[in-house]
Amino acid sequence: MSTAATIENTAASEAPAQAPCAKSMEMDERKAYTADLVKKHALAAAGIGLIPMPAVDFVALTALQVNLLRKLSDFYGIAFTEEIGKKVVGALAGGYAPVALALPVASLLKAIPIVGQTTGILAMSAVAGASTYAVGKVFVQHFESGGTFLNFDPAAVREYYREQFKEGSSVVKNASE
């Protein structure tokens, strides 16, 4: 084999794999891909809940959820900016009172030694995972129906978010068993 062929083969094997695209997949493939992506991010969010420092966990969770939205928007070919991602995550989670209150409270509980730390870590982990799962599922549904960030209405999906939050709680709980 010539040196040129070896270099060419090496370059081809080192080239990054092309990101998956919703347009090139059938519905079942898209569902499987997005379900896996959402679940991985939900479990990572549950892990973020284990960060013992108040507020750091909250910032890390927001970054993870924005990353999930970026990956979903790339997959569906939707224009994305970090600023938009932060706004829609805040609007969606903030519109559901239990999450809007639970995340900061769970994070702040970690400042209380022993009991507060344990309670805060467990609560933050569960809520962070379920919330991330719900955010992902809401945007998969929204993008599948042809929606974009420009026409996203958090109030219109609030009930679906609640349902997915409950489902996400089960997913996170089952993964930890």
pLDDT tens per residue, range 4-63 = 444 444 444 454 566 788 888 999 999 999 999 999 999 999 998 887 777 788 789 889
Structure tokens at 97: 């009172």
Task: Give the model's pLDDT for residue 7.
Answer: 42
Residue for token pair 């284990």: 50
CB-based contact 88:69 (threshold 8 Å): yes
Q: Which one, of 54, 124, 131, lies nearest residue 89 by Cα?
A: 131
Q: 19 in helix, strand or coil? A: coil
- Please choose, from the candidates 153, 129, 131, the residue with its C-alpha nearest in 3D space to the C-alpha of residue 142: 153
Q: Which of 49, 50, 52, 45 is nearest to 112 (CA)?
A: 52
Average pLDDT over residues 119-142: 86
Name the residue ranges covered by the structural domains of the chain.
25-176
Which residues, 6+ apart, have CB-to-CB distance to 41 below 8 Å?
A: 64, 65, 67, 68, 132, 133, 136
Q: What is the pTM of this model?
A: 0.79
The model's pLDDT over 135-172, given as tens digits with 9 standing for 90+, comes to 999 999 999 999 999 999 998 999 999 999 999 989 98
Spacing of C-alpha 170 from chain mean position: 16
At 66-122, the pLDDT tens digits run 999 999 999 999 999 999 998 998 888 776 545 545 555 555 555 556 555 566 566
Length of the chain, in residues? 177
What pLDDT does residue 116 have? 57
Q: Is the pLDDT of residue 3 over 50?
A: no
